[in-house]
Amino acid sequence: MRATERRGRLVLLAPLAGWSTPLDEIPDPVFAGRMLGDGLAVDPTSATLHAPCDGQIIALPESRHAVTLRSDAGAEILMHIGIDTVGLGGEGFEAHVRVGRKVIAGERLITFDLDLIARRAKSLLTPILVMEGCGFTVLRSNESREIAVGDVLMEIAQAGAGEASLPIGADGPGADTARNANAQIRTVRVALEHGIHARPAAQIVSALKSLAGQVDLTIHGHTANARSTVALMKLGVRKGDEVRVRAVGRDAAGAVEAIAAVLAGAHEQTGGPAPAVQHASPSVQPLARATVEVGPGSALPGVVASRGLAVGQAVRLALREIEVTPAGAGISHETLQLEGARAQVRARLEAARATASNTAREIVAAHLELLDDPELTEKSLALIADGASAAYAWRQAIRASVEALRALGDPRMAERVDDLLDLERQVLLSMSGHAIAVAQDLPPDAIVLAEELLPSQLVGLDATRLAGIGLAAGGATSHVSILAAAMGIPALVAVGPGLLRIPEGAALLLDADAGWLHVDPGAERLAAARRELEARTSRRAAEREAAQRDCYTADGTRIEVFANVGSLADAQAAVRNGAEGCGLLRTEFLFLERGTPPSEAEQHAEYQQLAEALAGKPLTVRTLDIGGDKPIPYLPMPAEENPALGLRGVRTSLWRPDLLRQQLRAILGVRPHGQCRILLPMITDVAEIRSVRAMVEEARAQIGRREPIELGVMIETPASALMADALAQEADFFSIGTNDLTQYTLAMDRGHPELAARLDALHPAVLRLIARTAQAAQGRKRMVAVCGGLASDPVAAPILIGLGVQELSAVPSVIPRLKALIRRLTLAECGGIAREALEQASAEAVRASALRRVGRESEYTSGCD
């Protein structure tokens, strides 16, 4: 049949052979949500794309993965081969036409490598769309059947020329009704302590990832797409509000259930809105700010975001606006521009996520999530359809969300505003051909001063020349502060507007230990600060060098100093810093932020790679420690009133033994056998160890491994500490998780911002439980380690060693310092300090007594970065 165009109607012929599929089936919210336009998808069995009607080619990107043609009457038809194929950069595609060329229906447009795309793209489904805004709508479509090239695919009509959209062959306006038939609607009262802020919004989006269908939330007449964190946050929902949840589609019931659970506070961490990324205990020192003259000799107070000292010259960094042209060059051209730029940014962020340390990875993950936020995409595409350029549309979409979030007046949204503005910049820079956001070259010893700094800007600066950072605004827990701390760059924030009056090139002394920025402090002070810096640098270098040697106390007792690891980058950092092994591999990193669990083979490959990165040193793999506070979409948990006391740690694993069995086999397969040992989280009684040990033996038999494997337990609850003697009969070793042990002993949520200062693992109650655990371990000759945060606290080292701990597993960067301290202590000294600590009445008193006994306070506190 020929494609015909008559009375404002046009028949489109199938451009590919395959199976015609409704757009809802496409694994991409932009297409499934019909943001670009309505139409059908074809799951292709042929590898040549033909013209569906007569027309002119109006868009064909360099990547040749998509093409748009315009019919004589103005219908614009976009054909997009596969999903996420822009990232292939043209590999596997060959175009047979150019922009401007007139083609006739059935003419060959693009040939492609079906196998390559099947392997490399997210999906082969090829949307054939009538572009939004071109004035045509779909009248009938030939969906869910096998089609050959040239079969009738759709009939489309100019607005006003036809009836409502129908599948061809449907006998009335029933298709839409049929789709809506399983709509689920529920009104839910929000129990979340702080309403829908960033974390619950992200939890809702994450919970919906594995569920199909359209889901929205309505309150006070405002409706938001529940797959958009931005839209959800903008609703400004507060505790006690009633929200209408509506879901349509295959998984409607599950979607409503999942959202209701989040809104009921099932996943909430008591105390609420912990930021998306938790700060590695910034030293925040709020200071009264007097109006200060800025000139030679003046000093400006600020809030410490990243400790340290820097001497250098002022380098002013202004965020240069990126110019954009408002008018676009056609819907297809601009749509593909936007798609291309987002794909580039996505690829760069994904690459960064793969290699980043924990901190940076969480920030990157937040950016990735926002990059694909359907509200931003929808708004941008609507603006493009109205004639805007891609850059202008993206900026407007971001700015509208930023304004809406700012209007809520909720300080918890500040981080998200920063993320959005950062993302605006990254996409605009990508459109203008800048792959990396390099803001400006730096002179040596630059102390960068700015009103605010975006994380991507910081990452783009030359770290070898960056000595310090001073910001007029900002907070100690903003993403940029967290990144600065992770990079070891001293930073002061919230210094105030005076900072912006400091002249370019002024000599600066940034004291981010005490919280002052000194402007032109005079040659003498600068020289003294340089001497102090040199002393710190050489002490650190010496400690680092010595860190490569095994650790013994001054009187020859072996203390193993291991590292906690949560990624390959961490393992590499651990080895560089002299870790003698990994005392805790948090395997959660493999399971989060994805739609399906990692396969056994994938897990095995990751563990093997980590074992190799540790170059034969022991690797302690903790089984999945997941629970209600870290929901994973493919593991829907029953709603829990009190997630911290619910299905957590080994309990989750025993509830889903299929996942545990896979993980055990993956660990047991790592070579050489003997390098790995297994650690079980949140154990409270011997039955749990026995169950897992039986599964280990079963898995060992399945993979035919002869050598046994050590099976240890984490002591993280008062119950396990008190029962340590019984547990020691079953377990091969202990590792004390002081983070949870402190939380459960003191009954204080470890993520509670108000309680953070009181949640000190040096509390004598916690120390008494550690003492009891170590005693029980000694009785059975079991090794006892500490892998919680206390192991990274230098003040705690003599106490823990004195209590009988033989292994400390710490964050990699503190290992050289820890080893240096331990080498100066004798076991007798440590025993005395520990005994005295156990007699104190508070954590502060313990800290003071330990410091008094050792008498070298500066070595325990300053410069430990």
Token pair 């003071």: residue: 848
Size of the site for Mg ion (CB under 5 A): 3
Among 46, 739, 778, 826, binds ligand PEP (CB under 6 A): 739
What 3 state SS string does 35-78 have? CCEEEEEEEECCCEEECCCCEEEEECCCCCCEEEEECCCCCEEE
Q: Minimum distance between the CB of residue 794 and ligand PEP, rounded to whole angstroms?
A: 17
Q: Which stretch binds ligand PEP (CB under 6 A): 190-198, 205-213, 391-399, 735-743?
A: 735-743
Q: Minimum distance between the CB of residue 839 and ligand PEP, rounded to whole angstroms?
A: 25
Among 251, 362, 740, 793, binds Mg ion (CB under 5 A): 740
Site for ligand PEP in 41-70 (CB under 6 A): none
Q: Which stretch binds ligand PEP (CB under 6 A): 151-159, 374-382, 546-554, 732-740?
A: 732-740
Q: Which stretch binds ligand PEP (CB under 6 A): 102-110, 324-332, 402-410, 737-745?
A: 737-745
The reply to whether 787 belongs to the active site is: yes
Among 55, 302, 598, 737, binds Mg ion (CB under 5 A): 737
Q: Which stretch binds ligand PEP (CB under 6 A): 159-167, 342-350, 630-638, 738-746?
A: 738-746
Order of strands, sheet of 93-95, starting from the edge strand that comes earlier in the sequence: 48-50, 108-112, 93-95
* 646, β-bridge pairs: none
Tell me the two tokens of residue 839.
């007699």
Nearer to ligand PEP, 120 or 651 (CB): 651
Size of the site for ligand PEP (CB under 6 A): 10
Those residues with Cβ within 8 angstroms of residue 542's Cβ, 6 or more apart along the chain or in another chain: none
Those residues with Cβ within 8 angstroms of residue 50's Cβ, 6 or more apart along the chain or in another chain: 13, 15, 16, 105, 106, 107, 108, 109, 149, 150
Binding letters toward ligand PEP, positions 671-710, x by CB under 6 A: ----------------------------------------
- How would you classify the pairing of strands 48-50 and 18-21? unpaired
Distance CA 270, CA 752 (A): 7
Site for ligand PEP in 350-409 (CB under 6 A): none
Nearer to ligand PEP, 112 or 591 (CB): 591
625 binds ligand PEP (CB under 6 A): yes
788 binds ligand PEP (CB under 6 A): yes
10 Å CB burial of residue 571 (0-12, 13-18, 19+) is: buried
Tell me the two tokens of residue 641.
């009133």
278 binds ligand PEP (CB under 6 A): no
Nearer to ligand PEP, 739 or 849 (CB): 739
Nearer to ligand PEP, 143 or 716 (CB): 716
The reply to whether 479 belongs to the active site is: yes
Token pair 């950069």: residue: 89
Nearer to ligand PEP, 389 or 735 (CB): 735
From 65, 267, 367, 479, active-site residue: 479
In this structure, how many other beta carbons lie within 10 angstroms of the beta carbon of residue 288?
5
416 binds ligand PEP (CB under 6 A): no
Among 676, 787, 821, 833, binds ligand PEP (CB under 6 A): 787
Which partner, Mg ion, ligand PEP, none, binds residue 195 by CB below 5 to 8 Å per kind? none
Closest CA to 689 of 643, 649, 630: 649
Nearer to Mg ion, 419 or 740 (CB): 740
Residue 672: is the preceding peptide bond cis (ω within 30°)? yes
In this structure, how many other beta carbons lie within 10 angstroms of the beta carbon of residue 558?
11
* 586, β-bridge pairs: 622
Token pair 């060992």: residue: 700
738 binds ligand PEP (CB under 6 A): yes
Nearer to ligand PEP, 502 or 810 (CB): 810
Token pair 């059975």: residue: 780
Which partner, ligand PEP, Mg ion, none, binds residue 787 by CB below 5 to 8 Å per kind? ligand PEP
Contact at 8 Å (CB) between 282 and 477?
A: yes
Site for Mg ion in 689-728 (CB under 5 A): 716
688 binds Mg ion (CB under 5 A): no
Query: What is the DSSP code (8-state) at residue 500?
Result: G
Distance CA 609, CA 606 (A): 5
Q: How far is CA 441 from CA 125, 316, 492, in A?
A: 45, 11, 21
In this structure, how many other beta carbons lie within 10 angstroms of the beta carbon of residue 16?
24
Among 511, 716, 749, 829, binds ligand PEP (CB under 6 A): 716
Those residues with Cβ within 8 angstroms of residue 395's Cβ, 6 or more apart along the chain or in another chain: 324, 424, 428
Binding letters toward ligand PEP, positions 565-594, x by CB under 6 A: -------------------x-x--------
- Which spans of this chain sit near ligand PEP (rule: CB under 6 A)? 584, 586, 625, 716, 737-740, 787-788
Catalytic positions are 479, 787
- Which spans of this chain sit near Mg ion (rule: CB under 5 A)? 716, 737, 740
